[in-house]
Structure 1
Amino acid sequence: MTQPITSTTTTHEPDVWLPTLPPTDLVFDDGVPLESNRHRLAMNLLIESVYAALSPRKNFYASGNMFIYYSLQQIKNRDFRGPDFFVALNVDGARERQGWVVWEEGGKYPDVIVELMSPSTANVDLTEKKNIYEQIFNIKQYFVYNPADPTSLQGWELQGNGFVALQPNDKGWLWCEALGLWLGTWHGSIVQETTDWLRFYFPNEQLVLLPREREYERAEKAHEEVEKLRAKLRELGVDPDAV
């Protein structure tokens, strides 16, 4: 037997059906890989970036290519794979999860979702999944991006009972109000693959650096300071290598 959790229209919380299936009966891996290695790198980049941006906060959870279970009918059909990237705010970020099971999260849905499109998934991402995220999940913001097309970034924000398209800034970035971050493209190399990646930027439009990028930047600054000191010693007639 299932039991519905109802909600009012003022909070826009959808009905959630609680199945009697124990968590061990849920499938958390559909065996379908991401479209390409670039898609996998793009997903991991977003996950690592959002943790870098929101640190030291602990009250959020971000992941990707993970099932989101929200209804008994969806479990029976097993016809909906999880989003490529999502963030849920105001939750226990340290809790171990195999998937996002809405009825185990107190009815909580993700706040932000990003789908990494490809020619084979774009139609579903822009229609079926968009409708689910808007009408069932009522997520705050939804974004789509094709890692092979730097002009493909689109986004929507829930206003009232439906999505409204977000307008880009002069750089083509979209403001993610839920996270307080810009979402935009960045051209560079990630694990020896160079393309226009989707990345987060702080409100001042500075790139959110990954931990390894911060370390590299600190090392570069330290090297510059050493070189300045060596140059100053030379000006004073002192051989820096002899000091």
Structure 2
Amino acid sequence: MSLAQDLNIPDDTWEDIVIPPTDLWSDEPPLESDLHRQQMDALITSLEWWWRNRNDFYVSGNLTIYYSEDQIKSRDFRGPDFFVVLGTERRPRKSWVVWGESGKYPNVIVEILSNSTADVDRGVKKQIYQDILRTPDYFWFHPVTLEFAGFHLVGGQYQPIEPNPQGWLWSQQLELYLGIHQRKLRFFTTEGQLLPIPEEVAIEVQRQAEEERQQKELAQATVEEERQQKELAQATAEEERQQKELAQARVEQLAAKLRELGIDPDA
């Protein structure tokens, strides 16, 4: 069955329909600073590592989300600094084209604020994410001032997410907390475990390897020390045996001389 039949569209009408392209390149400006890039990378790579055994999500950043044909004509592009789509195929993309992705929109969006974009992120973009994309969880974070806020979609309206005692905000979609750690926005589990970035994983692996090497060297040194102590004990015992034999030989020599002189050494 053809797509026209599936949609119950007459053949003569179908010929007039122009399907918008789905293979579109992203058209986003570069991030404003190294802080913004590092923050985006930290969120992306830590989540990818945490979900390394999953293939049902897509995570990216500073990538255009195409959600309407009018948007293409007006070039009014919207590319969140970080977003996650759940229940989709994990593979590289040029952009996120909603009509080419079974109508799926981001489940989570994080905007990294700057002085030039903060008003748009708090205003226009928030409205688009609420009313058009209907993204359930929306957060923003300023890497310089550390301004941090989060919202969850309730009845079609964003409601502020209340922080926990650590100041972290809960993402219902990710089932993870977002919180500030060493001046960066990071993910935490319900148990408070920090989701590591690959560099931290590598450092931890190296630390564990170094610790294991040191423990192995210590064990080898202990074995060597025990071997040396055993050899020393054996040498001491041999020396004592030799001294005992020497003393016994002297006693026997003395007894022999006494017998030569006609003296009974046992008397």
TM-score class, shorter: 0.7 to 0.9
Equivalent in the alignment of 1:74:
71
Q: Please report how far the alpha carbon of residue 221 of structure 1 lies from its aligned counterpart in structure 2 after TM superposition.
A: 2.0
Asked if structure 1 preserves the Cα contact closer than 8 Å seen for 2:167 and 2:179, the reply is: yes
How many residues matched?
A: 211
Q: Please report how far the alpha carbon of residue 81 of structure 1 lies from its aligned counterpart in structure 2 after TM superposition.
A: 2.9
Q: Please report how far the alpha carbon of residue 231 of structure 1 lies from its aligned counterpart in structure 2 after TM superposition.
A: 4.4
**Whole-angstrom CA distance in 1 between matches of 2:18 and 2:151:** 31
Letter of the 1:28 counterpart: S
**Whole-angstrom CA distance in 1 between matches of 2:18 and 2:163:** 41
Asked if structure 2 preserves the Cα contact closer than 8 Å seen for 1:115 and 1:143, the reply is: yes
Q: Deviations over 1:162-191 (max 9, x none)?
A: 11100111221111111111111121xxxx
Equivalent in the alignment of 1:171:
166
**Whole-angstrom CA distance in 1 between matches of 2:44 and 2:186:** 10
* TM-score calculated relative to the size of structure 2: 0.73
Equivalent in the alignment of 2:204:
217
Equivalent in the alignment of 2:190:
203
Equivalent in the alignment of 2:245:
none
Q: Please report how far the alpha carbon of residue 79 of structure 1 lies from its aligned counterpart in structure 2 after TM superposition.
A: 2.1
**Whole-angstrom CA distance in 2 between matches of 1:74 and 1:206:** 40
Letter of the 2:177 counterpart: W
Q: Does 1:158 align with 2:153?
A: yes
Query: Residues 47, 227 of structure 1: CA spacing in aligned structure 2 closer, same or farther, 3 A cutoff?
Result: same
Q: SS at the partner of 2:225? A: coil
Q: Which moved more, 1:38-47 or 1:115-124?
A: 38-47
Question: Relative CO higher for 1 or 2, CA cutoff 8 Å, sep ≥ 6?
Answer: 1
Asked if structure 1 preserves the Cα contact closer than 8 Å seen for 2:113 and 2:142, the reply is: yes
What stretches of structure 2 of length at least 5 have no aligned partner? 1-16, 227-267
Equivalent in the alignment of 1:183:
178
Equivalent in the alignment of 2:85:
88
**Whole-angstrom CA distance in 2 between matches of 1:48 and 1:157:** 24
Equivalent in the alignment of 1:4:
none
What stretches of structure 1 of length at least 5 have no aligned partner? 1-17, 188-195
Equivalent in the alignment of 1:6:
none
Q: SS at the partner of 2:114? A: coil
**Whole-angstrom CA distance in 2 between matches of 1:234 and 1:52:** 38
Letter of the 1:203 counterpart: T
Letter of the 2:78 counterpart: R
Q: SS at the partner of 1:149? A: coil
Letter of the 2:27 counterpart: D
Q: 2:120 aligns with which of 103, 115, 124?
A: 124
**Whole-angstrom CA distance in 2 between matches of 1:138 and 1:19:** 26
* TM-score calculated relative to the size of structure 1: 0.79
Query: Residues 202, 235 of structure 1: CA spacing in aligned structure 2 closer, same or farther, 3 A cutoff?
Result: same
Letter of the 2:195 counterpart: V
Equivalent in the alignment of 2:132:
136
**Whole-angstrom CA distance in 1 between matches of 2:156 and 2:76:** 25
**Which has the greater radius of gyration?**
2
**Whole-angstrom CA distance in 1 between matches of 2:42 and 2:134:** 25
Q: Please report how far the alpha carbon of residue 51 of structure 1 lies from its aligned counterpart in structure 2 after TM superposition.
A: 0.6
Equivalent in the alignment of 2:109:
113
**Whole-angstrom CA distance in 1 between matches of 2:60 and 2:83:** 6
Equivalent in the alignment of 2:54:
57
Q: Please report how far the alpha carbon of residue 21 of structure 1 lies from its aligned counterpart in structure 2 after TM superposition.
A: 3.1
Q: Please report how far the alpha carbon of residue 43 of structure 1 lies from its aligned counterpart in structure 2 after TM superposition.
A: 0.9
Asked if structure 2 preserves the Cα contact closer than 8 Å seen for 1:19 and 1:72, the reply is: no
Q: Deviations over 1:52-92 (max 9, x none)?
A: 12221100000011111111222222123310000000001
Q: SS at the partner of 2:132? A: helix
RMSD, matched Cα: 2.2
Q: Please report how far the alpha carbon of residue 44 of structure 1 lies from its aligned counterpart in structure 2 after TM superposition.
A: 1.3
Q: Please report how far the alpha carbon of residue 237 of structure 1 lies from its aligned counterpart in structure 2 after TM superposition.
A: 7.0
**Whole-angstrom CA distance in 2 between matches of 1:236 and 1:20:** 75
